[in-house]
Structure 1
Amino acid sequence: MGSSPLPFLSSLLLLFLLTLPTSNATLHRAKLLTSELFAGPQPSSPTAYFEVARPIPLPKTKPCSTLVLQHNFGNTYAKPPVTALYKPPSHCPLHRPPSAVVLEWSAACRGRQFDRIFGVWLGGVELLRSCTAEPRPTGIVWTVKKDVTRYSSLFARPHTLAVYLGNVVDQTYTGVYHVNVSLHFFFDSSTHRRPPPASPVPDFASPADLILPVSRSLPSNDGLWFLVQNFSDIQKKKLAVPANTYRAILEVYVSFHQNDEFWYSNPPNDYILANNLTNLPGNGPFREVTARLDGEVVGAVWPFTVIYTGGVNPLLWRPITGIGSFDLPSYDIEITPFLGKILDGKPHEFGFGVTDALDIWYIDANLHLWLDSKSSRTVGNLIKYEAPEFMSSLVSKFKGLDGRFKTTASRQISVTGWVKSSYGKITTHFFQRFDYENQMQFAGNGSIQVVKQTIDFNHGTYTKHPSSILHSEQVHQNFPLYMYTGTTDQVNDTYSLVSNITLGFNEKKFSGERFGFSFSSLRNLQNGQGNMKVKGNLVTNGSGSTQQVYRYESTVGCYFRNVSSNNYTILYDETEKSCAKASPLGAGLFLAARWPPFPARRTSLATEIYKLKNGD
């Protein structure tokens, strides 16, 4: 995927594929294109691709919209990002905070092209990380709409908008991406901020007052993301935070490419060395992204396994794309407890690394800061910090190219600190707990690979004011993955590939504050089955079917969609936007009985709150 390989790189991949023994072709996932001779039934109009997602809840008012950038991305690989000057549109009343802001990316392409990763930055702050759709001769279109209300403070002032989409156009790769980037501002007088309470306390539901980019600066012949090339590579940037900051969240963007695009299927190094497969990706299937402040780990990301639009079998993602492929998730790390260490007005170092990384990972972050308008300086102190190294194990048994491997890992991070501002002394506790398991099997003399993986991620924040509990949030995410790939009929540069994939993104979230609480539950599951005939790096024949069920329930509403496709054609598409709201009782029970069940050693947010209250 997505790192926009040059034609010579594809030639190297093809050359390597041709030299593989017939037994282990499934171990190497070369970049594939759909042959012009095989692109399914040719429609008279472009095919609309889409990622299944819940519609953004918006006020029932007409948006105030502005086109920020329009560009045709042709030969843009290893060239500077395309830029445009963003100015607050004069016809939008941005002198007051908008109720909602939506970024809209709309694109069209015709011909043949790889999937390409791209990013959108405003003032160096990343707003969207995404992957292009792979086109067909008759053309495709797609639209991504993202809620960017949390970046509201950026839109009131002029900034440079930068878009990097590294594309290659020549006789083989003919697709040019025609792109529009727009912003839609919504203003709803009925949803003005709540009046301040009698005892002033901060509103933790409001967007940050300031966002600082933890990314590379223009000019650059690439995106503004940092490039992490191996396990020892730590990418860093120094920033000074305002002295009157009272809350800070580090939002991290992550994507993986080239040798680590399919990191979750990489076999251990001892298997590769024993079979003399030294040119294949290795280092096993576990990856951890660490965020660091002045060299200390302040949080971790165990990333969701996004499969890009050309991944495994490109025919699976037409027109339904993989979960997260059009809007890659970002990950929030509460660093408020560490503020006492960086309120000295001096630059401090923010860094990122990836455990066992292979070339290449793209990582950057946005530092969201809440400022005390009634004070020129806040003070703070770190009370407790626990971040032991992750624990991992590998059990392997193999003979030749066949074998089984089981990799497990776990990690806990817990930190507590206080910040004193005009709001008083506020204590914040933040924790992360991870569990990981990957079972991998090779059979048929290496021609079959099966991967079963689960990532469990439980994290939460608890904020206490002397007078009350201000804010509490607990999130549990579960990322299941099943992947079967089998290679047969390999003769010279031709082979057949069968693939089956199950991919899930499940989340339960509970948030509580002085003004009420909210509870939401998401179950998002995809199943795909496909087969294809490959000659060189071209898919010459095959089929792909995808089924997806998306179910979201919350205290404010719900959304359900059940959709299926086969070879560019939608077989059925059932949508329901109105249903019974999630029961408030469910929110209370979430802390006591969560899905899926955790090991007994785990504790709920309720336990964390009790411990914090009692100084344990």
Structure 2
Amino acid sequence: MRARSVAMLSLSVLFLGVLTPATAVPPPAEFGSDYSDPRTPAPPVAVPHTRHCSVEIVRNGFKNFDPYTSTYTPPAACRGPWSKVVLRLQGSVKGVQYDRLGHITIGSVGVFRTSTPEPSADGISWQVEKDLTSYSPLLRTPQPVVMELGNVVNETYTGIFDIVVTLDFYPTGLGAPAARTAAAVLPLQDQRREDSDLVGTATLPRNTSRLLGEVYVTGSGGGCEEFWDTSAPASTGYSCPDGSPYREVEVQIDGKLAGIALPYPHIYSGGWSNPYAWRPSPAPRAFDIKPLTYDLTPFAGLVNDGKPHEFRVHVVGVPAGQSGWFTVPNLHVWTDPILKQTSGKLTSYSVSPLTKSDDVTGSSGTAGSVQMKASRSLKISGYVDTSAGRIPTTVERSLTNSSVHVWEAGESRDSLEASWRDLSTVTSGLRVDRTDLTYSKNGYISFLPHATIPDAYDVITDLDLADRSHTTSRLGPVTLADRRTADTYDGRASWIYNVPRDQRHATGTQTVRYRSTGTDGCYDHTLTAVNGYYTKDRYGC
């Protein structure tokens, strides 16, 4: 489950959203030297019909670990207020290269995190877009831009990632009102690391009325922490001995737990020791790594005194002294339009201890297993006195995670069946916002000696992944919004390990689908690929 990878693909001919027998080229019998350009089935960001302006913030070939820096300047021809702001990334790479992780900050605020596909010898290109409207307050003034995409280029790994990133600004107009956002988006100051924790301070406006936190977080760059959901105690002899496979991301304010969330179990384009499983389409979220979000409004009345307050991001479950977690926190702050000073209190505080059980078998060189169940919850209430009166807010959040991880002797077959549920409800006055996130990862990898080639191994993966959400917003008895989404992956791939590239005889099929239904309409897009070439591109609804 651990190695990374090496390739990706080129667009097929489409007709009315479907590859038809008359236009589709039959896929090859196995992977060759070229592949379809990577795509995902996710919908494009919805934008208004107003004219827009583009500002380029990144243009660089990433071939080492030097960060790229530039300066963002607001578009003179599209001064705010804006109805929508969209980040668009265009990437290309060819040759041989691993998948890499990238991150963009604007004014020290993290706005985008991504991973890259792996190239073919002839080269691939891909696009990513993200709705950046919530960062509009940050974009009203010039800001420094930093993009990090660490890469190694040498005689073996030849791929240079050519990246162009633009911001598209859509002004207001008919049917395109100004976006409703926070008054400010702030990074933490004086940041430092303490083991896997990220610690910093923030001095908030004295008239703060609402406070949201977000954390871009991935287990990566620290050995086995990239594969945290298959961790096992050292006593089992498993090759990733990082203890229990449970991870949780806490936000603490002045030493007090203020928010909890489950991290998403990302798989990048070389994951599970099988790069051919992700060609041409990546796993859900691989190209757009979403931040975890926390409603911290019950604490607003405690941190709006004009003094610096400590914010800490702590990853539960990481072994002591183990690094490997990337965390970038931001704060979205709403302020009162009239008052220069708001006030408030924390009125109730209930946080359950983590309940977790691990049933563990195995020892070095033998078959083993870890069966884990965990749960955690909190309920925190507070109020803020504003020019509109006293606004009470109650945040409820419950986390559940279960997994069954089983491996045979020598880890010749390694299987995982895991599920995560992160349910949050925020009640503010008469408004109730509910977000129900569920993730699942089910499948196996086998790594067996090849029947006829000495020292070679047959690698096979078979995986089903799902990233689902159900969000609702209600004002009293009135439903303001109700939306369900499902981003799924179903794939099987095989290749021969420890042979020259032209003798790998790799094969793979994958079907990825994004479905969305609710008060904002219906969207349904399915992509199927065989041996690196798309054979189906179909829209439903």
- TM-score, scaled to structure 2: 0.89
8 Å Cα contact 1:244-1:376 kept in structure 2: yes
- More off after superposition, 295-304 vs 391-400: 391-400
Q: Tell me how far apart the structure 1 counterparts of residues 185 and 493 of structure 2 sit (CA, whole Å).
A: 43
Structure 2 counterpart of 1:435: 400
Aligned with residue 510 of structure 1, among 464, 467, 472:
472
Distance of 1:129 and 1:31 partners within structure 2: 18
Distance across 2 between alignment mates of 1:537 and 1:338: 59
Q: Is the 8 A contact 2:420 2:440 kept in 1?
A: yes
Q: CA deviation at 1:143?
A: 0.6
Equivalent of residue 188 in structure 2, options 175, 189, 214:
214
In structure 1, distance between residues paired with 2:143 and 2:197: 28
Note the alpha carbon deviations across 1:45-87, whole angstroms, 9 max, x for none. Answer: x842122212222212332222222111112x2x3x2111111
Alpha carbons of structure 1 residues 486 and 41: separation in structure 2 relative to 1, 3 Å = closer
Are positions 1:40 and 2:31 aligned together? yes
Given that 1:227 and 1:363 are in contact with CA atoms closer than 8 Å, whether structure 2 keeps it comes out as no
CA distance in 1, matches of 2:264, 2:175: 34
* Structure 2 residue corresponding to 1:386, chosen from 332, 336, 350: 350
Structure 2 CA distance for aligned equivalents of residues 492 and 296 of structure 1: 58
Q: Against the structure 1 CA distance between its residues 537 and 41, is the aligned structure 2 distance closer, same or farther, given a 3 Å change threshold?
A: closer
Q: Does 1:424 align with 2:389?
A: yes
1:90 matched residue in structure 2? 76
The DSSP-based 3-state class of the residue aligned with 2:281 is coil
Once the two structures are TM-superposed, the CA of residue 541 in structure 1 deviates from its matched residue by 3.4
- Give the one of 476, 494, 498 matched to 2:460: 498
Cα pair distance change 1:86/1:445, threshold 3 Å: closer
Q: Which residue number in structure 2 is paired with residue 177 of structure 1?
A: 161
CA-CA distance at 1:479 after TM superposition: 0.5
Tell me the residue number matched to 1:30: 3
* Partner of residue 19, structure 2: none
Aligned to 1:609: none
Residues 493 and 338 from structure 1, CA distance in 2 versus in 1: closer, same or farther, beyond 3 angstroms?
A: farther
Aligned to 2:215: 252
Q: Quick one: percent identity of the two aligned structures? A: 28
Match in the other structure for 1:596 = none
Distance 1:181 1:161, change over 3 A: same
Give the structure 2 partner of residue 611 of structure 1. none
* Cα distance in structure 1, aligned partners of 2:190 and 2:54: 29
> Which of 511, 518, 523 does residue 559 from structure 1 map onto?
523
Contact 2:50–2:173 under 8 Å retained in 1: no
Displacement of 1:332 in angstroms is 1.1
Provide closer, same or farther for how the CA distance between residues 72 and 397 of structure 1 changes in structure 2, counting only shifts above 3 A: closer
Give the alignment of 1:448-467 within 5 angstroms. Answer: 448-464=413-429
Partner Cα separation in structure 2 for residue 129 and residue 238 of structure 1: 22
The residue identity in structure 2 corresponding to 1:40 is F
Deviation string 1:122-170 (CA, Å, 9 cap, x unpaired) is 1011111100111111111011010111111111111011100001111
Say which is worse superposed, 531-540 or 158-167, in terms of deviation: 531-540
What amino acid maps onto 2:102 in structure 1?
A: F
Q: Distance in 1 between matches of 2:366 and 2:219?
A: 26
Cα distance change of structure 1 residues 391 and 380 upon mapping to structure 2, 3 Å threshold: same
Matched with 2:448 is 488
SS in 2 for 1:337: helix
Give SS of 2:362's match: strand
Matches within 5 A, 1:204-283: 206-214=180-188, 233-257=196-220, 258-272=223-237, 280-283=240-243
Change (3 A) 1:176 1:39: farther
**Any residues of structure 2 matched to 1:292-303 within 5 Å, and which?**
292-303=252-263
Residues 131-150 of structure 1 mapped to structure 2, 5 A cutoff: 131-150=115-134
Q: 2:256 and 2:55 mapped to 1: Cα distance?
A: 42
Pair 489,259 (structure 1): closer, same or farther in 2 beyond 3 Å: same
After superposition, where does 1:331-342 map in structure 2 within 5 Å? 331-342=292-303
- Structure 1: segments with no counterpart, 5+ residues: 1-27, 195-204, 218-225, 580-616
Decide whether the 8 Å contact of 1:125 with 1:215 is kept in 2. no
**Secondary structure in 2 aligned to 1:260?**
helix
User: Which string of whole-angstrom CA distances, capped at 9 and with x for unpartnered residues, describes residues 273-311 of structure 1?
Assistant: xxxx6x644312111111111111111121121110111
Where does residue 96 of structure 2 map in the other structure?
112
Q: For the residues of structure 1 that align with 2:521 and 2:82, how far apart are their CA atoms?
A: 22
SS of 1:127's partner is strand
Aligned: 1:316 with 2:263: no
For 1:55-94, list aligned pairs within 5 A: 55-75=44-64, 77=65, 79=66, 81-94=67-80
| Residue in structure 1 matched with residue 313 of structure 2 by the alignment | 352
The residue number in structure 1 matching 2:485 is: 522
Shift, 1:566, TM fit: 1.8
Distance in 2 of aligned mates of 1:213 and 1:328? 18
Amino acid at match of 2:420: I
Question: 1:15 maps to which residue?
Answer: none
- Residue 207 of structure 1 deviates from its aligned partner by 0.8
**Gap regions ≥5 residues in structure 2:** 9-28
1:152–1:214 Cα change, 3 Å: same
Which region of structure 1 is more displaced relative to structure 2, 60-69 or 120-129? 60-69
Three-state SS of the structure 1 residue aligned to 2:76 is: coil
Question: Partner residue of 2:24?
Answer: none
Whole-Å separation in 1 of the counterparts to 2:403 and 2:253: 30
Extract structure 1 runs of 4+ deviating beyond 6 A.
536-539
Q: Is the 8 A contact 1:227 1:361 kept in 2?
A: no
**RMSD value, Cα:** 2.4
Partner residue of 2:532 out of 563, 568, 578: 568
Report the alpha carbon displacement of residue 398 of structure 1 after superposing the two structures with TM: 3.4
> Aligned partner of 2:360: which letter?
S
- Aligned counterparts, 1:125-136, within 5 A: 125-136=109-120
- SS of the equivalent of 1:246 reads strand
Q: 1:103 aligns with which of 74, 87, 101?
A: 87
AA aligned to 1:271 is: T
Who is 1:50 aligned against?
39
* Structure of greater relative contact order (alpha carbons < 8 Å, 6+ residues apart): 2
Task: Quote the residue 1:583 is aligned against.
Answer: none
Equivalent position amino acid for 2:101 in 1 = I
Query: C-alpha separation between the residues in 1 aligned to 2:2 and 2:194?
Result: 21
For 2:411, give the aligned amino acid. Answer: G
**Could you report, residue by residue, the CA deviation over 1:180-223 in whole angstroms, capped at 9, with x for unpaired residues?**
110111124224659xxxxxxxxxx8211101013777xxxxxx
Distance in 1 (alpha carbons) for counterparts of 2:3 and 2:520: 45
Distance 1:396 1:442 in 2: 12
1:537 is displaced (CA, Å) by: 10
How much has 1:441 moved relative to structure 2?
Answer: 1.2
Give the letter for the 1:185 counterpart: F
Partner of 2:136: 152
Matched residues, number: 510
| Structure-2 change in CA distance of 1:493 and 1:212 (3 Å) | farther
